[in-house]
Amino acid sequence: MSLLVTSFTFSIATNRALIIGIGKYKTDTGWKNIHGDADVELLKPKLEKHGFIVHTLVNEQATKEAIQKALMQLKEECQPEDKVYFHFSGHGQPITDVNGDEDNAQDEAMIPYDAGKYYIEGVYEGENHLIDDEYNQILADIKRKIGKNGELFMAIDACHSRGMERGEN
């Protein structure tokens, strides 16, 4: 009589979401208040109803540093076959393309809570803008990590958002 021992590894896909909504910007940034924060209230319960684990950043929580940290955390949590939803509602702005990868010589940027509206040399030089070149690499890493059977959906509700979702990868 022989004994057969078998090991099975099961991959359980998870639905994950990161929703960022900014309606009330830091007062000294020059941005007018809008209703981006309302999208969080609308989307979160709908996604949770469909089994998503939802992380949110709203208004003052949505600094550039916090958004980058949340994207990196999302990347670390992702597993093959996951469904991932990324949503940004807030201001958007084109800025000068510094690395020459844009046909129109402008990068697109999401505007975090702490990003200034105007370039003022020595005061604010765009350091808090979240440029498509910065976050597209993280999203490309997520796509690779979730694999061909995973799904990544990205929604950006911002002015000048055309092309924000495009990356080299």
DSSP annotation of 33: P
| Cβ pair 161, 91 in contact under 8 A | no
Which residues are CB-neighbours of 135 under 8 A, at least 6 positions away? 67, 68, 71, 110
Q: How far apart are CA 143 and CA 139, in angstroms?
A: 6
| Residue 78: active-site member | no
> Strand 52-58 and strand 15-21: pairing?
parallel
- C-alpha–C-alpha distance, residues 10 and 76, integer Å: 19
- 91 has catalytic annotation: yes
Please name the residue that has the structure tokens 């999203």.
139
Do 21 and 58 meet the contact criterion of CB atoms below 8 Å apart?
yes
The residue from 78, 87, 91, 129 that is catalytic is 91
What does DSSP assign to residue 120?
B
Q: Mind telling me the catalytic residues?
A: 91, 159
